[in-house]
Chains A and B, each alone.
Chain A
Amino acid sequence: MTAQEQTLALFGGIGGLLVIASAVGFVLARRAKGESPGIANLNARIKAWWVMVALIGVAFIFGKTGLIVLFALASFLALREFLTLMRTRRGDHIAIAGAFFVVLPAQYVLIGIDWYGLYSIFIPVYAFLVMPIVAALRGDTRHFLTRIAEVQWGLMVSVFCVSHVPALMTLQIPGYEGRHLLLIAFLVLVVQSSDVLQYVWGKLFGRHKIAPLLSPSKTVEGFVGGVLSASALGAALWWITPFSPLHAFGIALLVNLMGFFGGLVMSAIKRDLGVKDWGHMIEGHGGMLDRLDSVIFAAPIFFHVVRYWWTV
């Protein structure tokens, strides 16, 4: 199959799954006669999935530029949710403006021009050092370390980590030319299906809470069943990747574990801040960060594993 045929087959498969999910949701809603908030939430989630898949599909049509714009936008929305909940003060104004209007666009431009040497250290080195300087010059020392660390975390999580998804486009993998979009589809599909499958396994078989203090809805059964079945899905998708089926399973397992623990870390931050969701943007899901938390922790690791073992 050509890359285009593979892409069509993949989106056809996802579309088919969503049709089935929507049909199931419709039947459940009719049976519950609109009295179950759980089912209403399920249907809101399915509807949001249609929108998200459509957005990714549109970005795919525009190729690399489309993906960079889509993920830059996702980074912007994520950073805005993150910093809204932080306890920054007036003295951080310039540093935050810099994060939104300089660092974020620069990171994606660097990916666009394929400058690996700079985009891989731009935020962890340059932004890390310059932002506290800018904030310090304002002379407000109250909670200084907390404030600046919160802005730095916002940039790392919402911009640096998220940007590693479109950065996959820049990898030179022998024998895989012109098919990078499928590598991105693999990562997003595996990690997001792990979230969905953990939810499904947890709802069906969940008994033992895995991290009651962080995330009371996550169970051992959901974790094991979800991560393993999503990793099996990853193995089954080996044909769209440069990996063998076994490698595809191993890599899917790795990104799913990262995604799971990423979800726990982001939950810990939310608990600390006293909120349930990061935002209200996506109905049924919460905010952009609630949807992206697992991708955030999986993307850089996936990027570097592929870069180390599969590129020239």
Chain B
Amino acid sequence: MLERLAATVITVFARLVTGMRTNWQGCKPEPVQRIYFANHSSHGDFVLLWTSLPPALRAITRPVAGADYWLQSAARRFIGERVFRAVAIPRGGGAQQANDLMCAALDAGASLIVFPEGTRNTTEDILLPFRSGLYWLAKARPEVECVPVWIANISRVLPKGEFLPIPLLCTLTFGAPIKVGADEDKNAFIERARNALLALAPHDNGE
């Protein structure tokens, strides 16, 4: 009950602040199991991505995030554990443990939201190099499709170090799903995934 209310408040707030527009460019919002991977430049990222999904998909989609972030306060713990049902990854636990936790969530039927840059991008670059986590996950569960999602403008709504969001319009563009090839190596897949995500970025609005 309280979870539903909190979810409603969060999604309505996110929509109001960001005038969010969702552009299903390369796939449809179908109830199939997916790994959504997106660019990461703000704490608001997975709130937006989660909000942009239709309620039925939202109910089966869990964001993956560092455990320390979610344990900082009671409110965050409630939102992280109960509302988003985040898959919490302990810091310093190693790549194998992270992959096992994500695979367990997938095996339980969930879709995942991951940020393969591994950290928030606060640089001038449009997208940081990917870590290898997405490859190991896709390799471990090759039947699950990976959907690139470009989140435009959220870094301007709430830049790192600011506390007051400004209500600029954000657009989320969902690209065509990709899967890891049978004999594709790590670097090739990571390169392909990163390019698929970059292809969704708007060209005109950059520095």
A interface residues with partner B (beta carbon < 8 Å): 76, 80-81, 83-85, 87-90, 93, 96-97, 100-101, 273-275, 279-281
Contacts and interface: CB of A to CB of B under 8 A. Distances in A.
B169 interface: yes
B85 interface: no
B16 to A, nearest CB: 11
B201 to A, nearest CB: 14
B30 interface: no
Contact of B153 (A76, A84, A96, A274): A84
Contacts of B9: none
A309 B60 CA distance: 65
B169 A80 contact: yes
A285 B168 CA distance: 20
Nearest to A143: B207
Contacts of A275: 204
B156 A80 contact: no
Interface residues of B, number: 14
A93 B159 contact: yes
3 closest A-B pairs (Cβ-Cβ)? A84-B169, A274-B204, A90-B159
B32 to A, nearest CB: 27
B176 to A, nearest CB: 22
B162 interface: yes
A89 B160 CA distance: 12
A280 B167 contact: no
Contacts of B156: 88
A87 B21 CA distance: 19
Given A88-B156, A273-B204, A83 B21 contact: no
B205 interface: yes
B91 to A, nearest CB: 27
A89 B166 CA distance: 12
A263 B153 CA distance: 27
B204 A80 contact: no
A26 to B, nearest CB: 29
Nearest to B167: A80
Contacts of B159: 90, 93
Nearest to A279: B169
Contacts of A80: 19, 167-169
B174 to A, nearest CB: 16
Contacts of A85: 205
Contacts of A76: 167
Given A80-B167, A81-B169, A97-B164, A280 B153 contact: no
Given A84-B169, A97-B164, A279-B169, 9 more contacts: A80-B19, A80-B167, A85-B205, A100-B166, A100-B167, A101-B164, A274-B204, A280-B21, A281-B19
Contacts of B162: 90, 93
Interface string B53-80: 0000000000000000000000000000
Contact of B168 (A83, A101, A281): A83
Contacts of A93: 159, 162, 164, 166
The winner among B153, B162, B205 for most chain A CB atoms within 10 A is: B205
Contacts of A96: 166, 168
B204 A97 contact: no
B168 to A, nearest CB: 5
Contacts of B166: 83, 93, 96-97, 100
Contacts of A273: 204
Given A93-B159, A280-B21, A87 B168 contact: no
A273 B202 CA distance: 12
A279 B171 CA distance: 11
The listed residue with most A CB atoms (<10 A of its CB), out of B19, B21, B169, is B169
Nearest to B23: A280
Contact of A87 (B19, B167, B169, B207): B207
A274 B204 CA distance: 7
A57 to B, nearest CB: 25
A87 B164 contact: no
Nearest to B203: A274
